A = this chain, B = another copy of it.
């Protein structure tokens, strides 16, 4: 069964909001074997919404909209549903009670405007929303399923997880989809393709793609088959070949992230980590600790943005900064040595660089970053030449530092 997702809202088509709902929903649907084939976004415009709804119902089996179900005036999805499905809105007392109860639990008085949310198209099923006041709407008619969800991501997510997916799972005839994602870092897409393309045969039932992102390039394999065994084995045989061809660049698979892989390596070894950051100013520590349970191996970090803080918090000799500059291999190494000496962790990581937009020189242009990793086995450092963009430089430095750490842990074994 094919699915079309429709995202509604001026904020989405004008680019004032990033549409993360359709991303989340597509992934959850894929897990139960449902394919999204179109995604459409349309503004808060009755006529265009109507047209888009009609087209979707025509070309897809399941249509899921997000947005336009909130309590405020610009939320008009229900009006379009009434028009397209030729139904009246009916006031449902039980929904109002439910919404009232939720506000009570949170200790907030329910604004009277929220009463609108208890109006539902006749014959529609209501999808409860544990976390907030907006409810989802489901209409099943002539073999098609139409679902309208609120646009606030955490509300949409809750309804999808707790109501929609269980409902659809009972309804759809599943063809099994097996997805494997091999995550690489430290190599560009075309260089990967040069190693892979001439040496990989992909069967017709499998789709293979390169997906570049900040952290590196993901290699994604999607196999579809009538049963789980065939799907798994088709995808796995492509994955095995890829591991042979470019395994040295693969840091993890599927939901692995560099930070979760590092967390696993450190936990298994009972080892600890501290970090010292200049240009990334906390982003590395923040990324490392995005893993639940990271307190088992991450104990502290320092953000040494100024020269003085590098001297005071890390014991970097002033002379090194004067001679080589705060952004230098020597300073990065002194930072990480001081860090481990002062705070006694098994691994230390440091980052210092010129994130931009200002501060570059001919010798060290914007995007010049030094990273260093220290352990009982010594210090390793690396110079990066990144971009002119401040945020890209900061993010990439974090990933490059994590990759240097990961390789060092493995080499130390």
Which chain A residues have a beta carbon within 8 Å of chain B's beta carbons? 7, 9-20, 22-27, 30, 36-45, 48, 52, 70-74, 108, 111-114, 131, 133, 152, 154, 179, 181, 188-191, 193-194, 197, 207-213, 218, 220, 222, 275, 277, 280-286, 288-290, 292-295, 298-306, 308-309, 313, 356-358, 387, 389-392, 394
Beta-carbon contact of A210 and B74 below 8 Å: yes
Is there an interface contact between A193 and B300, defined as CB atoms closer than 8 Å?
no
- Tell me whether A20 and B17 are in contact in the complex, defined as CB-CB below 8 angstroms, given that A113-B194, A209-B10, A282-B282 are known contacts: no
Contact between chains at A303 and B305 (CB < 8 Å): no
A301 CB → nearest B CB, Å: 4
Chain B residues positioned under 8 Å from A306 (CB to CB): 295, 299-300
Known: A72-B190, A111-B194. A11 touches B309 (CB 8 A): no
| 12 residue pairs A–B, Cβ–Cβ below 8 Å | A10-B222, A37-B48, A39-B40, A40-B40, A44-B209, A72-B210, A282-B289, A283-B286, A286-B286, A292-B356, A293-B358, A298-B305
Is A392 in contact with B154, judged by CB distance below 8 angstroms?
yes
- A301 touching B300, Cβ below 8 Å: no
Give the residues in chain B near A207, CB-CB below 8 Å: 10, 44, 74
Contact B292 A281 (CB under 8 A): no
By a CB distance below 8 angstroms, the chain B residues around A281 are 282, 285-286, 288-289, 298, 301
Contact check, A30 vs B44: say whether CB atoms are below 8 A apart: no
Are A190 and B114 interface neighbours, CB within 8 A? yes
A212 nearest CB across to chain B (Å): 6
Task: Please state if B300 and A285 are interface contacts (CB–CB under 8 Å).
Answer: no
A185 to chain B: closest CB distance in Å? 16
Contacts of A390 in B (CB 8 A): 290, 292
Residues of the B chain whose Cβ atoms lie less than 8 Å from the Cβ of A213: 17
- Would you call B190 and A71 a contact (CB within 8 A)? yes
- Whether B305 and A299, one on each chain, are in contact in the complex, defined by CB atoms closer than 8 angstroms, is yes
| Closest Cβ–Cβ distance, residue A8 to chain B (whole Å) | 11
Min Cβ gap A313→B in Å is 7
Q: Which 10 A-B pairs have the closest CB atoms?
A: A282-B282, A15-B26, A282-B285, A39-B41, A301-B303, A300-B309, A281-B289, A15-B27, A282-B286, A283-B286
**Complex CA–CA separation, A31 to B25 (angstroms):** 31
Given contacts A108-B188, A292-B357, A300-B313, 12 further A-B contacts (CB under 8 A): A10-B207, A13-B26, A15-B36, A16-B220, A38-B41, A71-B190, A111-B191, A281-B289, A282-B301, A282-B303, A300-B305, A302-B303
Complex-state Cα separation, A9 to B218, whole angstroms: 14
The docked-state distance in angstroms from the alpha carbon of A358 to that of B292 is 8
Max chain B Cβ within 10 angstroms of own Cβ: one of A73, A189, A301, A303: A303
Please state if A15 and B38 are interface contacts (CB–CB under 8 Å).
no
Shortest beta-carbon distance from A145 to chain B in Å: 18
Report chain B residues within 8 Å CB of A357.
292
Query: Complex Cα distance A246/B108, Å?
Result: 19
Query: Which residues on the B side are within 8 Å of A12 (C-beta)?
Result: 39
Q: Which residues of chain B come closer than 8 Å to A220, judged between CB atoms?
A: 10-11, 16
With both chains docked as a complex, state the minimum distance between the C-beta of A177 and any C-beta of chain B, in angstroms: 9
The answer to whether A193 touches B39, judged by C-beta atoms less than 8 angstroms apart, is: no
In the assembled complex, the CB of A349 is this many whole angstroms from the nearest CB of chain B, namely 12
Whether the Cβ atoms of B38 and A38 lie closer than 8 Å is: no
Q: Are B300 and A304 in contact (CB under 8 A)?
A: yes
Give every chain B residue within 8 A of A290 (Cβ-Cβ): 390-391, 394
In the complex, what residues of B have CB within 8 A of residue A208's CB? Answer: 74
Determine the residue in chain B with the shortest Cβ distance to A391. Answer: B290
Tell whether, in the assembled complex, residue A11 and residue B48 are in contact, meaning their CB atoms are under 8 Å apart: no
Which residues in B have their C-beta under 8 angstroms from that of A40? 38-41
Considering residues A24, A70, A74, A190, which has the most beta carbons from chain B within 10 angstroms of its beta carbon? A190
Separation of A223 and B153 alpha carbons in the complex (Å): 27
Separation of A152 and B193 alpha carbons in the complex (Å): 16
